[in-house]
């Protein structure tokens, strides 16, 4: 599903054309425009543009709403149209604006189409928040549409693909930021069995995908040194009351607000530097494998060969 543009003005005949042109101009100047729930609202010139993947629920939804409340244009993403349009509608009722794009991260084709749609529809992307994710439950080995271990693709390979597809736009929008929503749950990648065919557990698959996100964060930080794109990763908060925590049957231990505060710091604070992993609001060392040069090279090569993206 792609966002619909504001409806073109009806063909009112030659005599009404100048009046209609003036009306359209006045309408375009009124920012933000409040259209029906099924329409997205395009950004106005100069408006900050933010993509929050997985913003139809949980942490991503809260970050999208907060950015909208600050006046940004938010590209809302997810698979669930109804929940997505609720977020879009709420943002469009305030100082910001939003449009909904849908793509299943279990499909590289859908992620490529999403990236291409954003490149087509936007001339800037100030902030990319790679938030969409699938948790450790069910404790079952699932396979993506492209035949890869499901969490590795949804949580890591697809964000890798999307980020690299959008990188020219992000670079040209500098100063810009990329925030990768990772986790304290980090499991080392077994290079003999990356797709976890043996000794599978949902927790291990989730943790491996989250470690890969951090390794990619460090790679991007190094590759983008000096171009004005800040890249960080974080564990937002522990067991927030979101969809994936409910599915795991775990009692929440923190609030979505706490997690959103930590994400917002990485989006807006002038006090932080890039190339770091944060536990909430504070920098922390991630799993050792994320810093291991050989592992990072192997992960880069594998990710490039599986996604066809990633040349820097
Ligand atoms: N909850 C926690 O305590 C916690 C702790 C550490 C890290 N995190 C991380 O925080 C991020 C947000 O998770 P959450 O806790 O807010 O969970 P959530 O409520 O389950 O939200 C997950 C979001 O990701 C999207 N998503 C899931 N599978 C997708 C797929 N195949 N394709 C496209 N989008 C997909 C969902 O969209 P649809 O439903 O519309 O598909 C939804 O918007 C994740 O990266 C997670 O790993 C969470």
Ligand 1 binding pocket includes 173 (Cβ within 6 Å)? no
- Name the residue at shortest CA distance from atom 18 of ligand 1: 243
Q: Which atom of ligand 1 is nearest to the CA of 59?
A: 16
Distances in Å between the Cα of 20 and the Cα atoms of 16, 35, 286 are 6, 18, 58
Top pLDDT among 30 and 271 is at 271
Ligand 1 binding pocket includes 58 (Cβ within 6 Å)? yes
Q: Is residue 56 part of a domain?
A: no
For 270-302, how does the pLDDT look when each residue is reduced to its tens digit (9 = 90+)?
Answer: 999 999 999 999 999 999 999 999 999 999 999
Answer whether residue 139 shows pLDDT above 90: yes
Ligand 1 binding pocket includes 240 (Cβ within 6 Å)? yes
- Is the alpha carbon torsion for 233, 238, 243, 248 positive or negative? positive
Q: Averaged over 306-311, what is the pLDDT? A: 92
Q: With 0-12 CB in 10 A as exposed, 13-18 as middle and 19+ as buried, what is 140? A: exposed
Q: Which atom of ligand 1 is nearest to the CA of 185?
A: 6
Q: Averaged over 196-203, what is the pLDDT? A: 98
Rounded-to-integer distance, Cα 6 and Cα 99, Å: 11
**Measured in angstroms, how far is the CA atom of residue 221 from the centroid of ligand 1?**
24
Q: Residue 311: its pLDDT value, please?
A: 77
**Measured in angstroms, how far is the CA atom of residue 97 from the centroid of ligand 1?**
22
Q: Which domain holds residue 191?
A: 103-307
**Measured in angstroms, how far is the CA atom of residue 1 from the centroid of ligand 1?**
19
Q: Averaged over 210-216, what is the pLDDT? A: 98
Q: Is residue 220 part of a domain?
A: yes
CATH code for the domain of 266:
3.40.50.720
- Name the residue at shortest CA distance from atom 46 of ligand 1: 133
Q: Is residue 229 part of a domain?
A: yes
Distance between first and last Cα of the chain? 30
pTM metric for this prediction: 0.90
The confidence band for 32, taking pLDDT boundaries of 50, 70 and 90, is very low
Q: Is residue 217 part of a domain?
A: yes
Q: Which atom of ligand 1 is nearest to the CA of 254?
A: 3
Report the 10 Å Cβ neighbour count for 138.
Answer: 10
Top pLDDT among 184 and 33 is at 184
Tokens coding 285 = 């060392």
Q: Is residue 272 part of a domain?
A: yes
Q: Residue 40: its pLDDT value, please?
A: 87
Q: Is residue 277 part of a domain?
A: yes
Q: Is residue 95 part of a domain?
A: no
Q: Which residue among 130, 132, 180, 181 has the greatest number of ligand 1 atoms within 8 angstroms of its CB, and so is best to mutate?
A: 132
The residues near 212 (Cβ < 8 Å, ≥ 6 apart) are: 152, 155, 156, 189, 299, 303
For 250-261, how does the pLDDT look when each residue is reduced to its tens digit (9 = 90+)?
Answer: 999 999 999 999
Percentage of the residues of the chain whose pLDDT score is greater than 70: 87
Angle 158-172/202-223 helices, nearest 10 degrees? 20
Number of domains in the chain: 1
Half-sphere exposure of 286 (CA within 13 A, CB side): 31
Q: Residue 15: its pLDDT value, please?
A: 43
Ligand 1 binding pocket includes 106 (Cβ within 6 Å)? yes
Question: How much is the mean pLDDT over the chain?
Answer: 90
Answer whether residue 8 shows pLDDT above 70: no
Cβ atoms of 133 and 55 closer than 8 Å: no
Q: Averaged over 17-32, what is the pLDDT? A: 42
Beta strand 282-283 with 277-279 is: antiparallel
Q: Residue 39: its pLDDT value, please?
A: 54
For 44-88, how does the pLDDT look when each residue is reduced to its tens digit (9 = 90+)?
Answer: 999 999 999 999 999 999 999 999 999 999 999 999 999 999 999
Q: Residue 119: its pLDDT value, please?
A: 97
Q: Residue 252: its pLDDT value, please?
A: 97
For 227-269, how does the pLDDT look when each residue is reduced to its tens digit (9 = 90+)?
Answer: 999 999 999 999 999 999 999 999 999 999 999 999 999 999 9
Ligand 1 binding pocket includes 245 (Cβ within 6 Å)? yes
In 3D, which of 230, 310, 237 has the Cα closest to residue 276?
230
Q: Averaged over 171-194, what is the pLDDT? A: 98
Q: Averaged over 17-22, what is the pLDDT? A: 45
- Name the residue at shortest CA distance from atom 3 of ligand 1: 239
Rounded-to-integer distance, Cα 218 and Cα 256, Å: 26
Ligand 1 binding pocket includes 242 (Cβ within 6 Å)? yes
Q: Is residue 84 part of a domain?
A: no
Q: Which atom of ligand 1 is nearest to the CA of 55?
A: 43
Q: Count of residues for the chain? A: 312
Answer whether residue 157 shows pLDDT above 80: yes
The confidence band for 191, taking pLDDT boundaries of 50, 70 and 90, is very high
């Amino acid at each position: 599903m792609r966002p619909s543009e504001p409806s073109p003005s009806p063909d009112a005949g030659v005599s009404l054309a100048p009046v209609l042109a003036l009306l359209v101009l006045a309408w375009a100047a009124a920012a933000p425009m409040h259209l029906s729930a099924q329409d997205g609202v395009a950004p106005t010139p100069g408006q900050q543009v933010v993509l929050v993947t997985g913003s139809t629920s949980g942490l991503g939804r809260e970050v999208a709403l907060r950015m909208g409340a600050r006046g940004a244009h938010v590209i809302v993403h997810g698979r669930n149209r109804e929940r997505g349009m609720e977020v879009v509608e709420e943002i469009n009722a305030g100082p910001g604006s939003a449009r909904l794009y849908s793509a299943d991260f279990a499909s590289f084709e859908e992620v490529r189409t999403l990236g291409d749609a954003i490149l087509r529809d936007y001339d800037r992307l100030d902030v990319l928040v790679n938030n969409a994710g699938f948790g450790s439950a069910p404790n079952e080995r699932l396979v993506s549409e492209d035949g890869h271990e499901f969490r590795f693709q949804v949580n890591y390979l697809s964000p890798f693909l999307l980020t690299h597809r959008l990188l020219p736009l992000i670079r040209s929008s500098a100063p810009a930021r990329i925030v990768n929503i990772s986790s304290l749950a980090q499991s080392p990648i077994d290079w003999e069995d990356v797709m976890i065919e043996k000794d599978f557990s949902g927790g291990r698959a989730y943790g491996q995908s989250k470690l890969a996100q951090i390794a990619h964060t460090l790679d991007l930080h190094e590759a983008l040194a000096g171009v004005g794109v800040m890249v960080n990763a974080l564990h937002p908060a522990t067991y927030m009351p979101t969809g994936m925590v409910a599915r795991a049957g775990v009692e929440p231990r923190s609030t979505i607000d706490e997690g959103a505060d930590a994400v917002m710091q990485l989006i807006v604070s002038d006090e932080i530097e890039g190339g770091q992993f944060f536990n909430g609001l504070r920098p922390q060392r991630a799993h050792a494998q994320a810093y291991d040069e050989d592992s990072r090279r192997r992960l880069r090569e594998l990710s490039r060969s599986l996604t066809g993206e990633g040349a820097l």
